[in-house]
Amino acid sequence: MQSSNSNGADSADDIRSRAGNEFSNLKADLNDLISRIPSLSDIDLQSAKEKLLDKYESSRVSARAYAADAREKLNHGVEVGGEYVKERPLQSIALAAGVGLLLGALISRR
């Protein structure tokens, strides 16, 4: 079970990293466009606008793909957890009780 948690954490970090890179690239392109606006002709400005909109749409598509991938990983984690509970019901109850006691002790200390 821990190996799937590790893979899930790695996947979440990978998704976060890829999404961050996409939006960093978009931000850099936007900053570049803003700095060049005074020197652009109307045709160049229209071309730059279209390029920026294409990158924005590409980033949106990538973000949706990353979200779908994250949702799939979460669903897999839920399935694995459900299988664990079905295979080891007494251990699952003991684990839940232990977590409940620990949380109760932490909350009552405050």
What is the DSSP annotation of 5-71? HHHHHHHHHHHHHHHHHHHHHHHHHHHHHHHHGGG--HHHHHHHHHHHHHHHHHHHHHHHHHHHHHH
Note whether 15 and 70 are within 8 A (CB): yes
Region of poorest pLDDT, from 52-61, 74-83, 101-110: 52-61
pTM above 0.85, yes or no: no
Question: Taking residues 67-75, what's their average pLDDT?
Answer: 90
Name the band, by pLDDT with cuts 50, 70 and 90, for residue 19: confident
Say if residue 12's pLDDT is above 70: no
Mark 28-48 as b/e (b = at least 16 C-beta within 10 Å): ebeeebeeeeeeeeeeeeeeb
- Contact in structure between 52 and 29 (CB atoms under 8 Å): yes
pLDDT recorded at residue 9: 56
Identity (one letter) of the amino acid at 89? Answer: P
pLDDT for the residue 10: 61
Contact 70, 14 (CB under 8 A): no
**Lowest pLDDT segment from 42-51, 80-89, 98-107:** 42-51
